[in-house]
């Protein structure tokens, strides 16, 4: 009798459930629409870039994934780039001391790059955060692409980026 009870309990016992993996973070970029590229001879190419393009490179001691979060999420950007950030329908709204500036998302690739264009800037200009890993050393570099019409504007922009990246280094703990 006891054996029957044990056996019947074993049959009624449901297999243990494997807990589902919960995604606690949903990438805001996944649902955003990016600007369309123009079609030329069967390939897609971006519009022609104006003059004044420059790049800055910073080596950071962090992972590409962590850095990407600081470059794309509203909370990450609010830690080092602006006082507050909102994202809605592919438009980033940045707030600084009572003023705001908007940028539309032009393109992105997870843990590789994000490209935005200020809405009040000329067509073809953008700013881009690109993440590259050095094959030899394993170092992670952040390459910033931006535009400035004149040499004085470029110098001012570089100083501003240096200041912003210095803040990012402190937030990440990579200084």
pLDDT digits (tens, 9 = 90+) for 59-93: 999 999 999 999 999 999 999 999 999 999 999 99
Helices (H), 16-118: 64-72, 74-80
Give pLDDT tens digits for 115-164.
999 999 888 899 999 999 999 999 999 999 999 988 899 999 999 999 99
The proportion of the chain whose per-residue pLDDT surpasses 90, expressed as a percent, equals 62
pLDDT band at 21; cut points 50, 70, 90: very low
Q: Identify the pLDDT of residue 7.
A: 56
Kind plus residue range of the DSSP H or E element containing 59? strand 53-60
pLDDT at 17 over 60: no
* 129-160: b (≥16 Cβ within 10 Å) or e: bbbeeeeeeeebbbebbbbbeeeeebeebeee
Q: Shortest CA distance to 87 belongs to which of 34, 32, 141, 37?
A: 32
In whole angstroms, what is the distance from residue 159 CA to residue 103 CA? 21
pLDDT band at 30; cut points 50, 70, 90: very low
More confident residue, 117 or 11: 117
Give pLDDT tens digits for 145-159.
999 988 899 999 999
Q: Shortest CA distance to 157 belongs to which of 54, 79, 70?
A: 54
Q: Identify the pLDDT of residue 47.
A: 60
Count Cβ atoms within 10 A of the Cβ of residue 85 and give its class: 0-12 exposed, 13-18 middle, 19 or more buried: middle
In whole angstroms, what is the distance from residue 87 CA to residue 73 CA? 8
Q: Identify the pLDDT of residue 43.
A: 41
pLDDT band at 51; cut points 50, 70, 90: confident
Domains present along the chain, CATH in parentheses: 54-175 (3.30.530.20)
pLDDT at 34 over 80: no
Question: Which pTM value belongs to this model?
Answer: 0.72
Q: Identify the pLDDT of residue 20.
A: 38
Q: Identify the pLDDT of residue 33.
A: 44
pLDDT at 56 over 80: yes
């Amino acid at each position: 009798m006891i054996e029957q009870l044990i056996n019947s309990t074993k049959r009624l016992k449901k297999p243990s459930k494997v807990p589902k993996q919960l995604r606690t973070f949903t990438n805001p970029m996944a649902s955003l629409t990016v600007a369309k590229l123009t079609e030329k001879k069967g390939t897609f190419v971006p519009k022609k870039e104006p003059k004044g393009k420059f790049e800055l490179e910073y080596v950071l001691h962090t992972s590409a994934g962590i850095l990407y979060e600081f470059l794309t999420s509203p909370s990450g950007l609010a830690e080092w780039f602006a006082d507050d950030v909102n994202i809605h329908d592919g438009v980033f709204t940045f707030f600084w001391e009572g003023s705001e500036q908007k940028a539309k998302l032009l393109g992105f690739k997870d843990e590789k790059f994000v490209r935005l264009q200020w809405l009040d800037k000329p067509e073809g200009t953008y700013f881009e955060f690109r993440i590259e890993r050095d094959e030899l050393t394993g170092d992670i570099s952040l390459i910033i692409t931006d535009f400035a019409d004149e040499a004085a504007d470029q110098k001012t922009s570089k100083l501003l980026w240096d200041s912003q990246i210095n803040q990012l280094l402190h937030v990440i703990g990579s200084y």
